[in-house]
């Protein structure tokens, strides 16, 4: 197989499923418990900010009690030992990649760890209850929202992501349904730029047909297996 030096990994909710964090589109997933337009759009926030703030307070509390699973641990191991370029682009707002020890992580949808002040635009680490309308640590205004990218908003650091895709020799997608753009299009971008592409997912996703190889199974098994092969090649 051609020399692999630069790797881009895309992760979605599926990599955190075995840590006990609900995915979005599975049976009983987040989008069955809550209407997307009510809790994950700017319009929903404008309509009922308390509902949205409570939804994210609940998600933050749930995430804080969870732990990385062997899939996160394997990617952290790869990050620590991989001599070439490596970027883990996650759609997830949990911090399980970082808590497993991964360093080269980019949160394209933001993270539950930060609050964003809609008055002064400051972003600060946050663990409190946003529904209590606490003052912004920077300007004191009670105008904090979660620093999470909602439907219709621009994802973060797209230029950095496309720069990494341009030089990628290997693009690996883990635990995402391929339902939401622009993340769902990264495999096509990577292919057109010459990268090999691999999907590791519980079931075939909406994008499976675009991958050179698509393996179905649980991330906690598929990811350590793939990382071990790559590191001991
Ligand atoms: P999109 O239109 O590509 O979303 C496609 C899918 O998202 C739809 O198939 C549906 O499943 C869902 N969706 C999107 N908007 C919806 C709505 N109003 N009601 C119900 N379902 C909806 O997504 P987008 O609006 O173009 O998103 C723009 C950016 O926001 C993308 O980068 C996306 O990844 C991001 N995003 C972030 C979150 C989050 O919770 N962090 C949620 C959604 C989207
Ligand atoms: N191992 C591997 N894959 C899994 C596992 C598992 N244990 N459990 C679930 N999956 C797969 C599912 O088969 C599904 O394809 O993970 C995927 C999760 O898909 P979604 O619930 O749609 O989550 P995701 O793809 O991350 O959603 C993308 O949409 O709602 C927005 O912003 C939100 O970031 C999210 C984006």
C-alpha closest to that of 88 among 97, 99, 100, 77: 97
- Of 218 and 3, the one with more pLDDT: 218
For the chain, give every residue range classified as CATH 3.30.1600.10: 22-65+112-148
pLDDT number for residue 25: 81
Q: Is the CB of 37 under 6 A from ligand 1?
A: yes
pLDDT tens-digit readout, 111-158: 999 999 999 999 999 888 999 999 999 999 999 999 999 999 999 999
Task: Give the chain's largest Cα–Cα span.
Answer: 56
Q: Is the CB of 45 under 6 A from ligand 1?
A: no
By annotation, the residues acting in catalysis are: 109
Which value, to the nearest 10 degrees, does the dihedral of the CA atoms of residues 205, 7, 187, 217 take?
-10
Q: How far from each other are the two terminal CA atoms of the chain, in whole angstroms? A: 10
pLDDT band for position 180 (50/70/90)?
Answer: very high
For the chain, give every residue range classified as CATH 3.40.50.1220: 1-20+68-109+155-233
Q: Which ligand sits closest to the CA of 217?
A: 2
Name the residue with the closest Cα to ligand 2, atom 30: 24
pLDDT number for residue 1: 54
Mean pLDDT of 101-120: 97
Do 104 and 87 touch, CB atoms closer than 8 A? yes
If one residue of 151, 156, 183 were mutated to test the ligand 1 pocket, choosing by the most ligand atoms within 8 A of its CB, it would be: 151
pLDDT band for position 215 (50/70/90)?
Answer: very high
Encoding tokens for residue 89?
Answer: 């682009």
CA of 33 to the centre of ligand 1 (A): 16
pLDDT number for residue 36: 87
Please report, in range form, the residues annotated as the binding site for NAD(+).
12-31, 91-94, 175-177, 201-203, 219
CA of 133 to the centre of ligand 2 (A): 31
CATH fold of 22-65+112-148, please?
Answer: SIR2/SIRT2 'Small Domain' (3.30.1600)
Q: Is the confidence metric ipTM above 0.95 for this complex?
A: no
Please report, in range form, the residues annotated as the binding site.
12-31, 56, 59, 91-94, 117, 120, 136, 139, 175-177, 201-203, 219
Do 30 and 56 touch, CB atoms closer than 8 A? no
pLDDT number for residue 5: 96
Rounded-to-integer distance, Cα 226 and Cα 230, Å: 6
**203 burial level (CB within 10 Å; 0-12, 13-18, 19+):** exposed
C-alpha closest to that of 17 among 75, 71, 65, 57: 71
pLDDT tens-digit readout, 27-42: 878 777 888 899 999 9
CATH number of the domain at 1-20+68-109+155-233, please? 3.40.50.1220
Q: Which ligand sits closest to the CA of 216?
A: 2
Q: Is the CB of 109 under 6 A from ligand 2?
A: yes
């Amino acid at each position: 197989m051609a020399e692999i030096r630069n790797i881009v990994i895309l992760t979605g909710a599926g990599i955190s499923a075995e840590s006990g964090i609900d995915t979005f589109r599975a049976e009983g997933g987040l989008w069955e418990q809550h209407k997307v337009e009510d809790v994950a759009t700017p319009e929903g926030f404008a309509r009922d900010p308390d509902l949205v703030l409570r939804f994210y307070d609940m998600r933050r509390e749930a995430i804080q009690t969870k732990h990385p699973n062997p899939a996160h641990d394997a990617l952290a191991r790869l990050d620590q030992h991989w001599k070439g370029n490596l970027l883990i682009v996650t759609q997830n707002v949990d911090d399980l990649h970082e808590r497993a020890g991964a360093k080269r992580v980019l949160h394209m949808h933001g993270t539950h760890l930060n609050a964003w002040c809609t008055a002064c635009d400051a972003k600060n680490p946050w663990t409190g209850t946003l529904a209590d309308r606490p003052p912004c640590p920077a300007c004191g205004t009670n105008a904090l929202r979660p620093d999470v990218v909602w439907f219709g908003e621009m994802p973060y650091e797209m230029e950095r992501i496309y720069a990494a895709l341009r030089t990628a020799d290997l693009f690996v997608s883990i635990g995402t349904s391929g339902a939401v753009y622009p993340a769902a299009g990264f495999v096509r971008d990577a292919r057109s730029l010459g990268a090999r592409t691999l999907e590791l997912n519980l079931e075939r996703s909406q994008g499976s047909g675009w991958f050179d190889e698509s393996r179905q199974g649980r991330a906690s098994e598929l990811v350590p297996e793939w990382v071990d092969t790559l590191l001991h090649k």
